[in-house]
Structure 1
Amino acid sequence: MPLQGRHAFITGGGRGIGLACARALLAQGASVTIAGRDAAALENAATTLRASIVAPRKTGNPVSDPLGRTPTIQMPRVAVSVLDVTDEAAVHAAFTTAQQQLGPVTILLNNAGQAQPAPFAKTTSQHWQNMLDVNLTGAFHCTQAVLPQMLEQGWGRIVNIASTAGLKGYKYVSAYVAAKHGLVGLTRALALELATKNITVNAVCPGYTETDIVQDAIANIMQKTGRSEEQARAELAAGNPQQRLVQVEDVANAVAWLCQPASSAMTGQSIAVAGGEVM
């Protein structure tokens, strides 16, 4: 359990990629705080996560330290934080509470995000600002709030869930694409600032993934074009050389690896989880 004793804070943790990442990090021994705006979804997710925690098997004879004490295994725990990442004051308060509940936060997963399509000519300034606030500024708030805890502990892992939209362009989502490009840029700049602090900063960039955002995209295609759900799904999967939608577990596996102590040389990277769509 390489993350035993670590505390991970996951925004957008009540469903989709965030929930899958919470499962993966729990399986590696980390305690997790799942955060989001939907209190009911968070409580349901927390119940599921707590039920999934399995005590490690005891193998062989326990090894005692020189004072004769037998090491104990710290079981992972799950906490919930109802939070809007665009509210700076609320974010800082949430990280203070999280530390009090489960100890210092040394893993941050900036996963909260939202995609609202609009042709550029019909993109209002409010739409533009909303996309920046949720997809970029929220990560800025959370990272600023958690850094003092990581610096005090002398160890940290920050993983930003960007998108292939942070590595290339997509039409009709210019505000979302701009925000995700900004998140990739933030990842690279912060990785350099923290390179000597034993804190890594990376981005994971999924392609179209089986999440609520993609379900909304499918519904939008069906409404605008009259295509069936199967046809709409095929259209989204067509850009993936594997001809499939990415699964949340695919993303969670990449995130979990980046959080391990063994990934200490990986920083400033933007890893596409997209079946070869971006190389």
Structure 2
Amino acid sequence: MRRVLVTGGGTGIGRAIAHAFADQGDAVTIAGRRIELLKDAAEGRDITCIQADVTSEADTTALFEMPFDVVIANAGWGASGKVAKLSLDDWNATLAVNLTGTFLTFREALRIGPKDARLIAIASTASLQGNASVPAYTAAKHGVLGLVRSIALDVAKTGGTCNAICPGFTDTDLAEGAITGLMQRFDLDREAATAKVAAGNPQGRLITPSEIAGTALFLASPAAAGINGHALSVSGGEI
């Protein structure tokens, strides 16, 4: 039985990933800042919940009392606002959770082992292209991809892998926030606002969390042993 860690496992993509691994019999641990969300995500499944903030070195170190075979750095958040209007606090907070949190998570995974662990970062299509509306998030996710590619070279000879999944807009609370924001700002109905959010996807839809979970299962499988340092876009052709 593999031991699997999912950060930001209480909602959205992280929750779907945790359920997918638990449902195939893996021993899953989810971590996040809000214990009530973690407990809700774990209900009905054999999932361990640990309250932790991935921007805290102490919290992240404490997660790794024992090694994990699969480590999924999913915790993320992004401040919106063009550069000229972006506060330093929002910039620092965005980099802290997305980039520093991924660094701390993977650093501890590498320190504790095993040497052949599968490390997966939930990045974004923002890792692969610019976005004037979320420059801090875009910069952080570009950094995540650079970190993934660097770690991939480090673990290549030990049997481990490190990869990034780059979702397009996914049907989560983040997308819901964008949709309601458009509804309020431009006086749109939900259908029109959703279409605007999904417009970047050539398939004209939001990606589902289960699609990201299925991708994570694949990258953690024996069939993906030769995939290392890769940015796998799940975006309907956006990238």
Same fold (TM > 0.5): yes
Superposed, 1:148-187 pairs within 5 Å as 148-150=111-113, 153-187=114-148
Whole-Å Cα distance in 2 between the matches of residues 143 and 20 of structure 1? 21
Alignment of 1:51-90 (within 5 A): 77-90=46-59
Deviating runs (4+, > 6 A) in structure 1?
none
Structure 2: gaps spanning 5 or more residues? none
Is 1:117 matched with 2:113?
no
Matched, 1:127 2:96: no
Contact 1:110 1:159 in 2 (8 A): yes
Structure 1 residue 261: Cα displacement: 2.2
Aligned partner of 1:24 in structure 2 is 20
8 Å CA contact 2:161–2:229 kept in 1: the answer is: yes
Percent of residue pairs identical:
42
What's the offset of the Cα at 1:163?
Answer: 0.3
Aligned mates of 1:93, 1:205 — CA distance in 2: 28
Aligned: 1:210 with 2:179: no
Q: How many residues align?
A: 239
Q: Distance in 1 between matches of 2:204 and 2:121?
A: 25
SS at match of 1:256: helix
The TM-score normalised by the length of structure 2 is: 0.97
Contact conserved, 1:113 with 1:134, CA < 8 A, in 2? yes
Deviations 1:156-178 (Å, cap 9, x if unpaired)?
00000000011111221000000
The alpha-carbon deviation at position 29 of structure 1 amounts to 2.4
| Paired AA for residue 210 in structure 1 | D
C-alpha separation in 2, matches of 1:80 and 1:213: 22
* Counterpart in the other structure of 2:104: 141
How far did 1:154 drift? 3.3
Shift of 1:214: 0.9
Task: Please give the TM-score of this superposition, normalised by the length of structure 1.
Answer: 0.83
Which residue identity is paired with 2:100? T
Contact persistence 1:35–1:83 (CA under 8 A): yes
Deviations 1:53-94 (A, max 9, x none): xxxxxxxxxxxxxxxxxxxxxxxx421110111011111012
Contact 1:115/1:213 (8 A) holds in 2: no
Q: Corresponding residue for 1:261?
A: 222
Q: Which residue of 1 aligns with 2:150?
A: 189
In the alignment, which residue of structure 2 is the partner of 1:47?
43
Partner of residue 219 from structure 1, selected from 164, 180, 189: 180
Matched with 2:192 is: 231
Q: Give RMSD over aligned pairs.
A: 1.1
- For structure 1, which runs of at least 5 residues remain unmatched after alignment? 51-76
State the shift of 1:28 in Å: 2.8
Letter in 1 for 2:38: L
Write the distance in 2 (CA, Å) between the matches of 1:220 and 1:115.
15
* Alpha-carbon distance in structure 2 between the residues aligned to 1:32 and 1:273: 23
